[in-house]
Amino acid sequence: MKPMKIYAMLLGFSIFTGATFNLAKYTVEYLAPSSAAAWRFGLAAVVMLVILLLTEGVNKSLLKKNAIAYAVLGIVGIFGFNALFFIGMKCTSPVNAALIMGLNPLLTTIFARMILKDKIVKRQAVGIAFAFIGVFLVITQGSLEAIATLSVSVGDLLIFAGNLCWTLYAVLGRRFIKDATPLSTTTYTMAAGAIGLIGAWGAVAFMAVFTSVLGYLWWNQGVKEIGAGKTSLFFNLVPVVTMIISFAAGTPITFFQMIGAALVIVGVLASSGIFQLPKAHAEKQKRMLAAK
C-alpha cells in the first residue's frame, strides 16, 4: 500500500478518534457507560465479522494458533480500555481525556522497550519526559495543592488506566500474534472484547425471551387450563429459584432459608394437586371402561 494512502488512513483515524471524545461525553449523558461501550463494540464486531467473511474468510488454523492471544487482547484492549474510557468520560472533559490519550505513543515506546526489547533513542527519552510533564499538568490543573496531595480527577485516572490497556493491546499484539493479518486480528480481538462488554445484553435477552415471552405465555396457559388459584401457587417457587441461583453464584444460604424452600416446594406440589394426578388418571380410566 502506498505511503500516502497509509498516511491518509491514519489521518482519518486521528479525525474519527478525536471526535470520539466529544461524542462519548455526549453519549454517557444518555446511556450508562456499560451500555455505550456494549453498543459501540457489539455493532463494530458484527461489521468486522461481515467484512472478514466477505474478504479473507476464516482461517481456522491461524484462529486456533492465536485463539488465546486474541482472547487476552480482546479483554485488555477492547473490554478493559472501553470500560475505563466510558466510565472516565462521565467524570472528565473531552479535552482532558484526549490529552491524556495523547500520551499513548510514549507509553507504547516504554512498554515496547520493557516487553519487546525495542531500543529508545535520545529524542524519544526527551519526548517521554515532556509528555509526562504535560499530562501531569493536565490532570492536576497546575494546582500546587493538587500536586502536593496528589488530588486528581477520578475520570482522568480512569482514562489514563484505559490508555495503559490500549498500550498493552498494541505491544502484546506484536509480541504474541503470529502470522495473522490486521483484519483478522482486529476482528477476533474485537469480538472477544465485545463478548465481555455485551454480557448485560445476554441477561436482557434471557429476560426478554424466557421471562417475558415464554413466562407470560406459560403463565396464561396455566390460568386457562388449571385456573388462576393453582397457577399462582407456582409464584411461590420464584424466590426458591432465586435462592438456588444465588447460592450457585456464591451467596451463603441459611438453614432456615433451606427449610423454607423445602416447605414452599411441598406446599406447591400438595396444593396444585400434582400428587393426585395418578389417582385421578386411574379414576378416569375406570370411568372410560365402565362407559364401554
Given a cut of 90, whether residue 50 has pLDDT beyond it is yes
The answer to whether the CB of 63 falls within 8 A of the CB of 229 is no
Residue 43: predicted pLDDT: 87
**Nearest Cα to Cα of residue 185 among 43, 8, 59, 83:** 59
Least confident of 1-15, 66-80, 138-152, 250-264: 138-152
pLDDT in tens, 147-168: 555 556 888 899 999 999 999 9
Assigned C-alpha cell, 49: 465479522
Residue 1: predicted pLDDT: 62
pLDDT in tens, 52-65: 999 989 999 989 99
Residue 72: predicted pLDDT: 92
Average pLDDT, rounded, for the chain: 80
% helix, strand, coil for the chain, step of 5: 85, 0, 15
Q: What is the mean pLDDT of residues 67-87?
A: 91
CA distances from 96 to 11, 74, 80, 85, 127 (A): 21, 26, 19, 12, 19
Task: Give the confidence band of 189 by pLDDT, cuts at 50, 70, 90.
Answer: very high
pTM above 0.75, yes or no: no
Q: How far apart are CA 130 and CA 138, in angstroms?
A: 12
**Nearest Cα to Cα of residue 158 among 81, 99, 78:** 81
41 class by beta-carbon count within 10 Å (0-12 exposed, 13-18 middle, 19+ buried): buried
Assigned C-alpha cell, 198: 455485551
The answer to whether the CB of 159 falls within 8 A of the CB of 92 is yes
69 class by beta-carbon count within 10 Å (0-12 exposed, 13-18 middle, 19+ buried): buried
Given a cut of 70, whether residue 271 has pLDDT beyond it is no
How many CB atoms neighbour CB 254 within 10 A? 9
Task: Give the confidence band of 197 by pLDDT, cuts at 50, 70, 90.
Answer: confident
Task: Give the confidence band of 277 by pLDDT, cuts at 50, 70, 90.
Answer: very low
Q: How far apart are CA 136 and CA 219, in angstroms?
A: 60
Assigned C-alpha cell, 45: 464486531
Residue 217: predicted pLDDT: 82
**Nearest Cα to Cα of residue 193 among 48, 79, 33:** 79
Q: What is the mean pLDDT of residues 94-103?
A: 80
Given a cut of 60, whether residue 140 has pLDDT beyond it is yes
Of residues 15 and 206, more confidence is placed in 15
Of residues 231 and 275, more confidence is placed in 231
The answer to whether the CB of 187 falls within 8 A of the CB of 24 is no
